[in-house]
Amino acid sequence: MKRYLFLILLVLLFFAAACGPEKPQDVLAYCKASYEEILAEDPNFPPAFIGACTSFFQTGRYDAFSALCKYEPFWAEFPVVITSPQECMQYLRGL
């Protein structure tokens, strides 16, 4: 389940980067819709995703998602071994 959720999240992030909303005013609606899709798979996924997603589109930086590092399922299936929220934040800053 965690691996499936992580793969969905990665696909959404890469898809968002490549084919995300074209207009700045569409970003919030897009991020909310993406969150609803994730929420269907994991009802405990933090709503901080919406703000992180919006910030990602504004800055283009993956460290916008560092607020989600407090939620272990977010980083538990990263392609590198991460054992703490701090390591998760460092990993995202390095992307």
For residue range 56-70, list pLDDT tens digits in order: 988 889 889 999 999
| Per-residue pLDDT band at 95 (split at 50, 70, 90) | confident
**What distance in Å separates the CA atoms of residue 12 and residue 28, rounded to the nearest whole number?**
15
Across 6-20, 29-43, 60-74, least confident range: 6-20
Please, are residues 22 and 30 in contact by the beta-carbon 8 Å criterion? no
For residue range 77-94, list pLDDT tens digits in order: 788 999 999 999 999 988
Q: Which two tokens stand for residue 9?
A: 């999240």
Number of domains in the chain: 1
Gyration radius of the chain's alpha carbons:
13
Give the domain range for residue 80: 2-94
Mean pLDDT of 31-49: 93
The pTM score is 0.72
Please, are residues 20 and 27 in contact by the beta-carbon 8 Å criterion? yes
Residue 8's identity, in one-letter code, is I
Please, are residues 93 and 19 in contact by the beta-carbon 8 Å criterion? no
